[in-house]
A = this chain, B = another copy of it.
Amino acid sequence: MRYGVLGTGMVGAAIAGKLVALGHEVKMGSRAAGNEKAVAWAAEAGERASEGSFADAASFGEIVFNCTSGSGSLEALESAGADNLRDKVLIDVANPLDFSEGMPPTLFVSNTDSLGEQIQRAFPDVRVVKALNTMNCGVMVDPDMIAGDHAAFICGTDEAAKSQVRELLGQFGWPSARVIDLGDIGSARGTEMFLPLWLRMMGVQGTGHFNIGLLTAARELEEG
């Protein structure tokens, strides 16, 4: 399959690299074709890898990943172009982190709205699925690095799109039982608002190589 990956940072490189390793064709997109990091990545990643503008990557991909920084995501997607994204599955990995006041970051949208919803509203013909934004990029593409039944969440209003994302996450190494469908794109509020807790847990762990699991009843309970 052909994938467009918007963003040249650590998340984009991790996702794009994994997709190439799985045998897919990947075009990494950035503000303008010829971005230094994208060119270096494509040269390193081999013949199935290429780079171009956001529009080039969106046009190329049958499925598109948004791995841009949250604060630049809407602008990047505008640049990618609604026509190039139309009817496609857009996997939104970005978080609305605001570093303008230093660490820890706050969220520039939360509580009554989310970046996932903003993107879905701005691009109503795109099938947005929020996914993988609750973990470090190493864990996203190598879930076996974490022991135990840890979880990935998917949020989106298009059921068929979520099925496609679940299948792709399976290729990444996520058993279907650990991919938790939280519901419509409004549930992106939940996964984005998890970030402040994630950041504190990272501080405690001293690494981003952890994840949460959803653990359930050990025994029959008298009350539901």
**Residues of chain A whose beta carbon lies under 8 Å from any beta carbon of chain B:** 106-107, 110-112, 138, 144-150, 153, 180-183, 187, 189-191, 193-194, 196-201, 203-207, 209-219, 221, 223-224
Q: A106-B111, A148-B148 are in contact. Are A209 and B221 (CB under 8 A)?
A: yes
How many monomers of this chain does the complex have? Answer: 2
Find out whether the CB atom of A218 lies under 8 angstroms from the CB atom of B146. Answer: yes
Find out whether the CB atom of A216 lies under 8 angstroms from the CB atom of B209. Answer: yes
Q: A215-B148, A221-B145 are in contact. Are A193 and B197 (CB under 8 A)?
A: yes
Find out whether the CB atom of A217 lies under 8 angstroms from the CB atom of B182. Answer: no
Q: A111-B106, A189-B196, A194-B194 are in contact. Are A215 and B211 (CB under 8 A)?
A: yes
Q: A183-B203, A201-B182 are in contact. Are A146 and B215 (CB under 8 A)?
A: yes
Q: Which of A112, A149, A197, A206 has the most CB of B within 10 A?
A: A197
Contacts of A204 in B (CB 8 A): 180-183
Q: Tell me, in angstroms, the Cα distance from A61 to B190 when the chains sit together.
A: 36
Q: Would you give the shortest CB distance from A98 to chain B, in whole angstroms? A: 9
Q: Which 6 A-B pairs have the closest CB atoms?
A: A190-B197, A147-B218, A190-B196, A182-B200, A148-B215, A193-B193
Q: Tell me, in angstroms, the Cα distance from A194 to B149 when the chains sit together.
A: 19
Find out whether the CB atom of A216 lies under 8 angstroms from the CB atom of B224. Answer: no
* Residue of chain B at shortest CB distance from A107: B111
Q: Would you give the shortest CB distance from A136 to chain B, in whole angstroms? A: 11
| A-B contact list, 19 entries, CB within 8 Å | A138-B223, A144-B218, A145-B218, A146-B215, A146-B217, A147-B217, A181-B204, A182-B203, A190-B201, A191-B197, A194-B194, A194-B197, A205-B216, A209-B217, A209-B224, A210-B214, A210-B216, A210-B217, A213-B215
Contacts of A191 in B (CB 8 A): 197
* Residue of chain B at shortest CB distance from A217: B209
Contacts of A198 in B (CB 8 A): 190
